[in-house]
Structure 1
Amino acid sequence: MFIGFDYGTANCSVAIMENGAPKLLPLENSSHYIPSTICAPTRESVSEYLFRFMDTKPKDVLGEQVLRRAINLNREEDIELQRGDVQFGQQALDTYLLDPQDVYYVKSPKSFLGASGLHETQLVFFEDLVCSMMKNIKTQAENTTQAEIEQAVIGRPINFHGRGGEDANRQAEGILRHAATRAGFKNIEFQFEPVAAGLEYESTLTANQTVLAVDIGGGTTDCSLIDMGPDWQNQTDRTQSLLGHSGQRVGGNDLDIYLAFKQIMPLFGLGSQMNGSQVLSSSKSRGVDMPITQFWNPIAINNVVAQKDFYEVANLKALKLLQKEAQEPEKLARLLAVYQHTLGYQIVRKAEETKIELSDSDKHSLIMPVASEMLKMDIDLQQMIEAVDTPTQKMMDLVTEVMAQASKKPDVIFMTGGSARSPFLRQALEAQLPNVPIVSGNYFGSVTAGLARWAQTVFG
């Protein structure tokens, strides 16, 4: 049996073909979408749990070494894993939110897969993370279908990482392939996510069109210009129909991070000053600005290095020194609470909730507990648009890039991906390509459905 598998940055989903149409399968309770999150007692628990409770062996000698080290570290900490100790999706998020300091939590591991400078044991661990998530999803899908699923078309972005080029893409795709193989898939193909979304739109066409598929996902924005329609349907070789591609690791997560940075982090001291070296300005003395990285790193949840730099033990001393020198020490006390209680994910989640609310209203009242405080602030639509201007422009630059590769303009723009629901992104796209109609289907499910259609073409 085959599936289309969207291993997404924000959510994962799978679909089968039933009676000639894609059918998404429930993966968490009755939901067809499971958040791309994992929660465990410790970092090392993931590798041990995968082996002990998910019946998945290491790939090679290095994997065995990582597993043995994980088991030994857990024993030193008197951690005896039980079934259910590693959680996925919304359940993982709920557990993390109950006590962020007491668990190991990862959101969107797909964001890390193309990162440069990773050593071998990091690559093995990321593979274990992905494999455990894939194994959980495969098991849920097989429970629904009551059939063994051995074949999968897995979606992938045009580019996994902003830097690294094809080396980064090969690394990331290799991790996904190895993880999927260890999870039990025997035949694996990959398809570009915007192409998959386009394939789902193509199923509705009765005449040929040139389609610009724009997929704004959680971690990446990808564009493909494709000739589509009845003449191309069911062809296994679509090379001549693919007119251009562009993609970058900029997506909904970046919108959330920039919104958190510009609008929320001032509550934690961003933009405030220290009582350090005094300089003269307009006949008045002022302090030294706080270092920006201390406010960016905790919320840069898609950057392994930034997270490590902020939460490492040595940074605690630096944060305490900043509070001591701060003109507004109460704000730096909140930043210390972020460090001590691992609140970076919670801050970004509040920004995400704000972004979603501002899709339908002009103002949102944000409420967030931090230590013994209850922080409150209002954010309006214009403030959000200004805060996310940098990632928005990067997305629009990708449209310019893909159009420069082709000799024709699109007849229609097919817009998909969770972040594509934001009206301000649609307006930005309309300004980029005026007079080209924009259509959309299932914002979350178009890629998955297209992957299932392609799976039928290559495996059916």
Structure 2
Amino acid sequence: MALISCGIDFGTSNSSVAIANDGQISLVPVEAAHVTIPSALFFRRVDNKAFYGRTAISLFFDRQDGRFMRSLKRVLGTSLMKQGTLVNGASMNFSTIISSFLKHIKDKADAVANQEIDHVVMGRPVHFVDNDPEADVRAQAELLAIAQRIGFKHIEFQFEPIAAAFAHEARISGEKLAIVADLGGGTSDFTVIKLSNQYVHKPDRSSDILANTGIRVGGNDFDKELSLAAIMPELGFRSTYGPKNLEVPLKPYVDLAEWSKVNFLYTPKIIMQVRQLLHQSHDKKRYGRLLKVLEDETGHTLLAAAEGTKIALSSQAEHNATFDFIEDGFFIPVKRELFEKSIEDDVEKIAASARQCLQLAGVRNEAIDLVILTGGSTEVQSIQTAFKNLFPNAAIADENKLSSVGLGLAYDSDYKFGQRTKRVSQV
């Protein structure tokens, strides 16, 4: 009986799982017919039952009573893992929360396999946390413990850009020198790798992988910069108050523009501070909108509008971002130029990490035959322009943007577990 293994791509924004069964690789439908699921949870207040993905998002935006969470991957390796958070009035640690989400995905894979899967390759960014090796080691250890907690017995890890390369390799004839750009919600990761359909079953790929780099910048950062540049000024960002014309505190706005920090703003202390400053505000209409968002706990709705604007501006020159949940008829026109200006520094950091990967690999831009773009953030026009400028002679492969990492991890699980089992049985 062939060993069945799987690969799990736990992403900041979206997640997927694929199964390897005797060399056959297939993505698992994880939410209805969808092979990707938003990395989101909603705990319903009445019974604390957890809902996942699109269902969780729908319940939240339908204003159901409960606790909504996104971008949980960014908590790994940070102090928040130990602190935990309040869920419907009770403390819950993030290990329990992430385990709940990943167990939901594992259950889907087990059902398709018609057995409990013990073997998994978990995807991981090149760096969970930038410039902090101890936090990076801690983050992988936390993810390992979670994988064990939900029932996996044999666990390996693979860098996400390498997995994306494996997903494309079966279709590559001859040898190609490729750079993989995996731009997700929380991180941007790069690998320079030699690919060929002749290498698919090589037991050791270490000589083909020339370099890896990564940076903790991704689509969530684009949402944040766009929100601060275009949306938050209409909520009083950088307005003034009092006789000394002091600038209002910026921290609530900065936290309100980051998915993983929104829920920490809904405290009586913060709301009282904003309410008190409103009396002294020089722009009561706009600053009052901030208070309403905090009182109504609609920060995630606000950020979703920023994310929707980002997505719209990938194909449109201008978009009207609607905020009827704050005021009837309230919208903000946002131009692509403003968005691209707001993320210039982030795009340059991403490009610099790609250049560093080339430097570590010891290859020139012109030597790259293929650029593999994966992750939703590669849809952004300025990102596409940056990579076309970096690699003007290379072919671009950008199919299966949201599922290629999950597919590649399953290919890798077949290399690591399935092929190993076959080799042992033949001895």
TM-score normalised to structure 2 length: 0.89
Measured in 2, the distance between the counterparts of 1:120 and 1:331 equals: 33
Shift of 1:420: 1.0
Aligned residue for 1:348?
A: 303
Measured in 2, the distance between the counterparts of 1:107 and 1:436 equals: 35
Verify the 8 A CA contact 2:75 2:81 in the aligned structure 1: no
Aligned residue for 2:422?
A: none
Equivalent residue in structure 2 for 1:140, among 95, 108, 114: 108
Measured in 2, the distance between the counterparts of 1:407 and 1:369 equals: 53
Structure 1 pair 252–440 and aligned structure 2 pair: CA distance change class (3 A) = same
Verify the 8 A CA contact 2:14 2:38 in the aligned structure 1: yes
Secondary structure, counterpart of 1:185 in structure 2: coil
Measured in 2, the distance between the counterparts of 1:267 and 1:372 equals: 12
Measured in 1, the distance between the counterparts of 2:108 and 2:362 equals: 45
Q: Report whether the alignment pairs 1:93 with 2:51.
A: no
Aligned sequence identity (%): 28
Measured in 1, the distance between the counterparts of 2:309 and 2:26 equals: 31
Measured in 2, the distance between the counterparts of 1:144 and 1:125 equals: 30
Equivalent residue in structure 2 for 1:408, among 353, 363, 367: 363
Matching residue's letter, 2:68? Y
Measured in 1, the distance between the counterparts of 2:139 and 2:206 equals: 23
- CA deviations on 1:322-349 (whole Å, 9 max, x unpaired) are 2112111011111011211222211111
Verify the 8 A CA contact 1:334 1:370 in the aligned structure 2: no
Shift of 1:116: 4.1
Aligned residue for 2:122?
A: 154
Aligned residue for 2:213?
A: 246
Q: Report whether the alignment pairs 1:440 with 2:398.
A: yes
Q: Which ranges in structure 1 are unaligned for 5 or more consecutive residues?
A: 43-78, 278-286
Verify the 8 A CA contact 1:201 1:441 in the aligned structure 2: no
Verify the 8 A CA contact 1:36 1:108 in the aligned structure 2: yes
Equivalent residue in structure 2 for 1:23, among 4, 26, 31: 26
Matching residue's letter, 1:402? C
Secondary structure, counterpart of 1:119 in structure 2: helix
Secondary structure, counterpart of 1:9 in structure 2: coil
Measured in 2, the distance between the counterparts of 1:149 and 1:232 equals: 26
Verify the 8 A CA contact 2:40 2:71 in the aligned structure 1: yes
Measured in 1, the distance between the counterparts of 2:143 and 2:334 equals: 38
- CA deviations on 1:410-435 (whole Å, 9 max, x unpaired) are 22211111111223211012223443
Aligned residue for 2:274?
A: 319
Shift of 1:314: 1.9
Q: Which moved more, 1:141-150 or 1:107-116?
A: 141-150
Q: Which ranges in structure 2 are unaligned for 5 or more consecutive residues?
A: 86-90, 419-427
Measured in 2, the distance between the counterparts of 1:197 and 1:374 equals: 43
Matching residue's letter, 1:459? F
Equivalent residue in structure 1 for 2:68, among 105, 125, 132: 105
Measured in 1, the distance between the counterparts of 2:298 and 2:52 equals: 19
Secondary structure, counterpart of 1:239 in structure 2: coil
Matching residue's letter, 2:268? V
Measured in 1, the distance between the counterparts of 2:22 and 2:337 equals: 46
Aligned residue for 2:331?
A: 376
Q: Report whether the alignment pairs 1:214 with 2:181.
A: yes
Shift of 1:311: 3.1
Aligned residue for 1:281?
A: none
Verify the 8 A CA contact 1:297 1:307 in the aligned structure 2: no
Aligned residue for 1:204?
A: 171
- The within-5 A match list for 1:267-306 is 267-277=234-244, 287-303=245-261
Secondary structure, counterpart of 1:148 in structure 2: coil
TM-score normalised to structure 1 length: 0.83
Structure 1 pair 294–134 and aligned structure 2 pair: CA distance change class (3 A) = closer
Q: Which moved more, 1:139-148 or 1:349-358?
A: 139-148
Measured in 2, the distance between the counterparts of 1:120 and 1:270 equals: 29
Measured in 2, the distance between the counterparts of 1:119 and 1:14 equals: 27
Verify the 8 A CA contact 2:19 2:109 in the aligned structure 1: no
- CA deviations on 1:227-270 (whole Å, 9 max, x unpaired) are 22245322232222221111111111111111111111111011
Q: Report whether the alignment pairs 1:430 with 2:404.
A: no
Q: What root-mean-square deviation, in Å, do the aligned CA atoms of Structure 1 and Structure 2 show?
A: 2.2
Structure 1 pair 19–361 and aligned structure 2 pair: CA distance change class (3 A) = farther
Measured in 2, the distance between the counterparts of 1:324 and 1:422 equals: 41
Equivalent residue in structure 2 for 1:6, among 9, 13, 22: 9
Q: Which moved more, 1:177-186 or 1:267-276?
A: 267-276
Measured in 2, the distance between the counterparts of 1:370 and 1:329 equals: 18
Q: Report whether the alignment pairs 1:38 with 2:41.
A: yes
- CA deviations on 1:151-193 (whole Å, 9 max, x unpaired) are 1111100011235x22112221122111111111121111000
Measured in 2, the distance between the counterparts of 1:322 and 1:394 equals: 37
Aligned residue for 1:58?
A: none
Measured in 2, the distance between the counterparts of 1:224 and 1:28 equals: 30
Shift of 1:18: 5.8
Measured in 2, the distance between the counterparts of 1:19 and 1:167 equals: 37
Matching residue's letter, 1:437? A
